[in-house]
Amino acid sequence: MRVAIVVSRFNDFVTERLLEGARAALRDAGVADTDVEVLRVPGAFEIPIAAQRIAELGRVQAVICLGCLIRGGTPHFEYIASAAAHGITAAAAATGVPMAFGVLTTNSVEEAIERAGAGPENKGREAAAAALEMAALLTGLGDGPRA
């Protein structure tokens, strides 16, 4: 099983912790570090294009998308959150490669940090588990029509 992680640098004090959580979940599931490709992008807005491109290259069975949006006083938050969610959904549909949504959208820094802790509540860890489950599900369905 080869997996890609697309992680945004914006709010990296949170996203690097999400990345650690995702890596831990993959190791726990027996995925070797050498089978994990990490792509860093500037912000959550750029996640979908990187996720789609790595999926199109055909060398990974799942993509884990990690980012962090913290609500401010501007509509920017809503636009980027919506673009990331829709873009990741569209990239998965276009490529057939499952993509997990590990993009935090929180009201405060405190909430973001809570969701990126070292334990099982880490949302990067959850996203990685979802990605592996979906990759196994889709692999189990096979390529051809039902007999």
Site residues (vs ligand INI, CB under 6 A)? 8, 10-11, 42-46, 67-70, 72, 76-77, 80
Which region, left, alpha or beta, applies to residue 99 given φ > 0 means left and ψ of -120 to 50 means alpha?
beta
115: Cβ–Cβ under 8 A, 6 or more apart, which residues? Answer: 104, 106, 121, 122, 123
Angle at 37 between CA 33 and CA 39, to 5 degrees: 135
76 is an active site residue: yes
For ligand INI, the closer of residues 26 and 44 by Cβ is 44
For ligand INI, the closer of residues 72 and 140 by Cβ is 72
CB 114 to ligand INI: min, Å: 16
Distance separating alpha carbons of residues 30 and 96, to the nearest angstrom: 23
CB 99 to ligand INI: min, Å: 16
Task: Find the catalytic residue in 9, 27, 59, 76.
Answer: 76
CB 9 to ligand INI: min, Å: 8
Q: Which residues are catalytic?
A: 76
